[in-house]
Every structure is written in C-alpha cells, then in structure tokens.
Amino acid sequence: MPVCTLPSGQTIGYDDAGSGPPLVLLHAFPLDRTMWGPQSAGLASDARVLALDFPGFGESPAAEFTINSAAKVVSDFLVALNILKAVVGGLSMGGYVALAFARNHADQLSGLILADTRAGVDDTNAKANRTKSIALVNEKGSAALFESMVPKVLSDSTRDAKPEVVERVKSIAAQQPAASVASALAALRDRPDANPGLKAIAVPTLVLVGEYDAVTPPLASANLAAQIRGSKLVHVPNAGHLSNLENPDVFNAAVRAFLGERPV
C-alpha cells in the first residue's frame, strides 16, 4: 500500500485508484481508509479516488489529532501529491474534518461531500459520553467500544441481511490502536462548531444521509444542506450511519452524478 510523506515528514497511508478529477475520501470513527473500498472500486472510472488514513489509524503513525489538525493533514497530503484542488468527501468524523478543510483550506477545494455528519458540537450529555467512551477503550480496547456502537451505526436491515458488512466494520474497528481511538474521541468531543462557516462555502456540495441514520439523523443533514448555498441533499435508502457500506450502489450513484454535474 502506498505511503505519502507530508512536508512535515509525517507519513500517511492511502489508496489511489482510477483517474480523472481527484476525489479525497475521509473515514469515519473508529475505522480507517479501507471503509471506502466500495467507492475506490466503484468510482474509479469517474475520478481519481484517494482514501487516506488519519493519524493513528490504519497505516498512518500516531500524531497530534484534532479536527483542525486532521484538516491540515489533508491539505498537506494534496500538496505532497501535487494536487492543486480536489473534491473532499467525509463521512461522520470524516465529515467534521471535511468541514474544517472547507473552512481552513478553501483554496484547495473544488467540491464538498458531507455524508452522515453534522455541523454542530456535542451537547453536555454527548461530551460526557465521549469521556466515558475514552475510559472504556482505554480499559477494554477498540473492539469492545465498537461492539457497543454497532446498533447505532448500522441499520436494522443491514444487521439482519448483511452480516458480512457487520463483520467487516467490526474487523476494521478492532485493528485500530486504543490510544488513537481515545485521541479521536477527545477530538470529536472538543471539535469546533462548523455552523458559522457554512454560508461561506462556495463550492458545489453534496449532502448524503442514510434514511435510518440514528447518529446524525436525516433532519441534521437537512439542516446542514439548508445552510450551504446550492447544496444537494440525497437520502440513501436501507442504510444507517455508515451509508457508503450499507448501500454502496445508491451512495456511489449519487457521488457519480455529483461529479458529473461539476464543471471541470
């Protein structure tokens, strides 16, 4: 698997598939870039699909992890690959990073895809739950934490009819170091509010959400889309929070149409 060395000397694991306009995909918590397998394969004829591991996940060594620092990693990643502008897409935690990228590195952005994510910050209860999750992962590891998350992040239909998807995401989560997962939980808990920057987003934007997403419900995505000028909202049927894995055909079709509508 390729590894990219950033200008800072930091190394990042990534996949590079297809050719055409660059599409950078940012993974959810607590997974890694391999969650984008259906997109790397399914969209390779439409774009150069680049999926990277955040620091501490997959094949990227641990380093500072905040939502803003992760956005800077994406910026440096594009510089290292000599890519001037890219469509940047993220799901859940990846969406928070994509919003930070749009806010902090707009000159490198040609389009934005926000999947199963939100702009706001955690409320008091959510922050407390993040802190409890940090204690759980430190005590019992990443697999134990994700086991408690499965009913929330995968729809009933996926858990009933697609056991291979359930086992795949469990396997990805179990491979992530507990320390990295704990750092990411702190980053999620302390993330900045993206709402003030939404009206400044001036690139074509696609908002995707699983129709049964219990973590960032469709209403959250509707509110997100309503604040981004000219954005398009697509509901992914028979999918929960990990809509790209639960219904990749519809997810990919929406991204493919979005890429086709964008001026090159």
Q: Report the helix count and the strand count for the chain, using DSSP H and E.
A: 11, 8
Query: How much is the pLDDT for 264?
Result: 46
Check residue 185 and give its pLDDT.
96
Residue-level pLDDT at 261: 80
* Pair 197, 103: CB distance under 8 Å: yes
- The predicted structure's pLDDT at residue 230: 93
Convert the pLDDT of each residue in 77-100 to its tens digit.
999 999 999 999 999 999 999 999
Start-to-end CA distance of the chain, whole Å, equals: 29
Q: What is the pLDDT of residue 55?
A: 97
Two tokens, residue 164: 């291979």
Mean per-residue pLDDT of the chain: 96
SS3 per residue for 60-122: CCCCCCCHHHHHHHHHHHHHHCCCCCEEEEEECHHHHHHHHHHHHCHHHEEEEEEECCCCCCC
* Residue 152 pLDDT exceeds 90: yes
- Assign 159 to helix, strand or coil: helix
Please list the residues that pair with 12 across neighbouring strands: 4
Reported pTM: 0.97
Using one digit for the tens of pLDDT, what is the confidence trace for 48-62? 999 999 999 999 999
pLDDT digits (tens, 9 = 90+) for 101-138: 999 999 999 999 999 999 999 999 999 999 999 999 99
Domain range 3-122+192-261, CATH architecture: 3-Layer(aba) Sandwich (3.40)
Inform me whether the pLDDT recorded for 8 exceeds 80.
yes
pLDDT (average), residues 218-222: 95
Q: Over the stretch 21-41, which tens digit does the pLDDT of each residue have?
A: 999 999 999 999 999 999 999
